[in-house]
Amino acid sequence: MFLEGQVNWMWVLGAVAAVGWIVGLVALWFAFRNRTRHVSASDQLDLVQRVADDSQKRLFETLNAIPVALVETDKQGKFVFANRAAHQLLGRKDAELIGLRFHSATWGITFPDGRPVPPDLLPSARALRGQTVRGFQHLLANPASRRKMLVSVTAMPIENELGQITGSTAAIVETEGLQTPEAIMPEPVGAPSEDLTRRVFDAASSALVVVAADGRVREANRTALLVLGRTEADGDF
């Protein structure tokens, strides 16, 4: 047991202060370490987000650069994505296309022989039922230009990780050489002028003679006159 006179309070207070400093330094070190870990984790999350954004941007640019019309629908059959080629083929901009359904009334969809295609036989409708459609051909009219074309459609369902159908995707290709031609009316050809007929008649290298119903010669070209030794065609030869 220490007596009051034997305790050096300076040493005691110094020891307490030293312990306090040590505890403070340890706490500061732990705080700095945890903050470093937090900053590092935050930086990694930001990096992952930037990589994901860049990948999404590259994918979007790639899909837009593909010269084939690509569309995606939700499970109700409404467009949720269309690339640039699809905008041109379907005659609608993105703002006008998103939310629409691919149906016969808007795009005049018929079989190649002109019969209307039932809605449940359209490729997107079949894909939403789980079918894979390859090379389904039908006529399609561009609403902007009213141009009709024959297209080939390949459609597939989109499934989530549980195998549930969440939408459909389709590639639409205009079939080369099978575009329905517009009727072209031939331009009327006028009768050749009398002067042209006379020039051709006279310039012919064969002897040409025009005989009337009564047997009299009405016309003879230069070659005929030379062959027959005549200067004019009127009369009997």
Domain boundaries, the chain: 9-63, 66-174, 194-228
Q: Who contacts 172 (Cβ-Cβ below 8 Å, separation ≥6)?
A: 68, 69, 70, 71, 86, 89, 90, 140, 151, 152, 153
Q: Which of 148, 47, 78 is nearest to 107 (CA)?
A: 148
pLDDT at 187: 46
- The pTM (predicted TM-score) of the whole model is 0.54
pLDDT tens per residue across all 237 residues of the chain: 444 455 454 554 556 566 666 766 766 666 666 665 555 667 777 777 777 777 778 877 887 888 889 999 999 999 999 999 999 988 888 788 888 888 777 888 999 998 999 989 999 999 999 999 999 999 998 888 888 899 999 999 999 999 999 999 999 998 864 444 443 344 444 545 556 566 665 666 666 666 666 767 777 777 777 767 776 655 555
221: DSSP letter: -
Return the CATH architecture of domain 66-174: 2-Layer Sandwich (3.30)
pLDDT at 184: 37
pLDDT at 185: 44
pLDDT at 44: 73
